[in-house]
Amino acid sequence: MIKIAILGASSLTSEVLIKILLKHPHTEIVFLESEHLNGVKVSDVHPSLLGLTDLKLKKLDEEVIIKKCDVVFMAKDNGYAHKAAGKFVKNGIKVIDLSADFRIKNATVHKKWYGFAHKDKRLLKKAVYGLPELYRDKIKKASIVANPGCYPTSIILACAPLLKVNVADSDGICIASSSGVSGAGRNPKPGMNLFMDSYRNIFPYKVTEHRHTPEIEQVLSDIKESTVKVTFIPHLVPIDRGILSTIFIDMKNKISLKELLEIYKEFYINDAFVRVCPPGKFPSTKNVEGTNFCEISAAIDNHTGKLIVISAIDNLFKGASGQAVQNMNLMCGLEEETGLL
């Protein structure tokens, strides 16, 4: 059995992560860390776990984790993992970081968007971006994986095939994404995730300045092998979970809808968690809720020469915890789909 520690076990993503790992045939959770809830049953923090586990939350004990665990999931706030992950990696523990600490490879860019200087540039260079559909072989060999952000997952999977086969123009990509309130996290954020803010309300936020922008551009530039810039506008919608992204891209070469969808089918032919919708059918958050799937479809606006690509994921699953387990499976030599289907 793969022995697991989860740091930041009181978070929304950790609740989903714990549920997946309790059902996983090859994992055993042995340490659940919480800075402020030492001794509290995890089922008291996450009532949906009542009857599934008697585990209690504990203060961090690095030596116990190093001695007992094979894999550490870090589900802490941004700014924690870059200071803490190195000790685990040095001691042979595989680390999957669900924060943004290891996603942006350029430390200067990281500081600009996240406001702090990275403390472990050696490990930053070593970390592998954990989007299995694009970086599967690297993830298999990794000792530390940067689990992608929720918005970037939905956007990168939608854009990658078009940029790879050079069908789309990489200039002027515009993205409108909508997320459920769980994307704002568990802690109250007035103006964002309070009931009175989100009920019967849809609104944009972080317009042109969302911190997932450089992550999206970094990976799309890697795929394209040239600089890609995007306009990214996120919105909060009154649902609990799910992300729907609509991407507008200029056509580089004229193409039929059938040919367009075939590009996606061929690109993701070996990817169990990407579903390409048939012509005229489009993704919805309800279709992927509680799953590790990303649904994708596309349309062509012949009037403007635009390609429209739409994707949907569950932000807590494929956008966080499900993808983290998908990465763990690869890092530990298991079938990628284990515990996720």
Indicate which residues carry an active-site annotation.
150
* Tokens describing residue 25: 């045939």
**CA 266 to chain centroid:** 23
| Integer Cα distance of 218 and 221 in angstroms | 5
In the three-class reduction of DSSP (H, G, I as helix; E, B as strand; rest coil), residue 266 is classed as: helix
* Tokens describing residue 114: 């996240």
* Tokens describing residue 210: 């969302």
Could you tell me where the beta strands, DSSP code E, fall in the chain? 2-7, 27-33, 57-58, 71-74, 94-97, 128-129, 144-146, 173-179, 203-204, 230-236, 243-250, 274-276, 294-301, 306-313
Phi, psi of 198 (to 5 degrees): -100, -20
Q: How far apart are the first and last CA of the chain?
A: 19
How many angstroms separate the Cα of 185 from the Cα of each of 19, 150, 181, 240?
18, 12, 8, 11
